[in-house]
Structure 1
Amino acid sequence: MASLGVRRMNQPLGIRVCCCRICTCINFGFVLSPGGLLKLMQLGLATLCEGLLIRYGVPYADSIGQALTSFLATTGHCFTTTGILLLCYCFSDKSYGLIRQSLFETLFHGLASCMYFSSASYMGFACVVWLHPQFLVRPGFWAYPAMTAAYYMGYAAGLLHAIDAYLSFNLFSPDELNYATT
């Protein structure tokens, strides 16, 4: 079975323009593969969460408290690492073969999933306890719906990272563990 996201040998790299190919150093095949689309969705959700947190959450940071800081740190770190992985995989098939099946990818996505679930839960608690009462009495108080949307997207991002952790665990080679003990 071919692993997700690996370029087939007969699939050329780059962009076809008339009779030639340009940008052959970029593997656009990976971006359009299930693994690449999963990474793009992770980046998209992290971007949306970060934007909502900064636009609507930061002005009410004194009300939300550490839930905002926790969620901002989670989205920022996960966005950065996922972006670096996506760039590596787009520019190098060898990187995909080495990193994707390594313990790093499995641990990163597992940890990212746990971080998203915990920070989204904390944000949900903060929304219900501190923002919802203000939403009921202040007209035009958009922080509550925006933070609610952010923590729902945080749960979705946690689920995507959990799926990615599972897929990378399936590619993980247990021979590496045996090699380390000999």
Structure 2
Amino acid sequence: MSRGPTIVRMPPGGGANARGFKCCCCRCCECLNIGYLTTQHGLIKLCEAMLGGLCQSLLVKYGMSAAGTMGSAFHGFLTTASACLLTTALLITCYVLSSKTQQLMRQTIFEWLFNAVACFLYLSASSCLGLAVNIYLYPQYVLMPMYAAYPTMTAVYYIGVVVGIIHGVDAYLSYKYYKNLIY
């Protein structure tokens, strides 16, 4: 006679390595929720943080010299990237430090509202930056072929669109998660 299936409960936030990480024959840092980073939500947050950080660093390194030429479009995108990166980094830190925080925050309106606002901000800032880059920097690039600000700022507003879409997907998934908990 065979037994039925065995039910194994996983720790919140991920698979077998959700609590700490395995080092030799024991687990280290079991207070950390490292498994969160391998979940769908964790990977989306990591993508948002990495792409937002890339945008911010490219803006600071290559765009500062042309900031006066691009005007408020540059400063608007830099503000968007900085604010969204800071909030995303804080959320990732909180979720890795505490699986309870992850469970509680995912149940609130903050997660999906932040992502919806970040989506709007990235998409609008990207469109403004794209317009400024093509109107003000492209003529300078035609005159000076080694002008690095134009291709870099073009890459920044393209990456900004991608980050905006990722935040939009995260907002949708967070909203679905939020609504499934209520009903």
**3-state SS, counterpart of residue 13 of structure 2:** coil
Equivalent residue number for residue 119 of structure 1: 125
SS in 2 for 1:140: coil
> Which consecutive unaligned segments of at least 5 residues does structure 2 have?
1-11
Matches within 5 A, 1:46-65: 46-65=52-71
Matches within 5 A, 1:1-182: 6-8=12-14, 13-173=19-179
Q: CA deviation at 1:148?
A: 0.2
1:156-180 deviations in Å (ceiling 9; x for gaps)? 000010000001001114886x9xx
Partner residue of 1:3? none
Native 8 Å contact 2:14 2:39 kept in 1 = no
Q: Which amino acid aligns with 1:53?
A: L
Q: Distance in 1 between matches of 2:15 and 2:132?
A: 51
Q: Measured at CA, do residues 64 and 168 of structure 1 come closer, stay the same or move farther in structure 2, by a change above 3 Å?
A: same
| In 1: Cα distance, 2:160 partner to 2:18 partner | 36
In 2: Cα distance, 1:174 partner to 1:15 partner: 31
Which 5+ residue runs of structure 1 have no aligned equivalent? 1-5
Q: % of aligned pairs identical?
A: 39
In 2, Cα distance between equivalents of 1:100 and 1:12: 17
In 1, are the aligned partners of 2:14 and 2:36 still within 8 Å (CA)? no
Distance 1:36-1:9 versus aligned 2 partners, 3 A rule: closer
Q: Which has the larger radius of gyration?
A: 2
Alpha-carbon deviations, 1:93-151, whole Å to 9, x = none? 11111111210011100000000000000000001100001100113101000000000
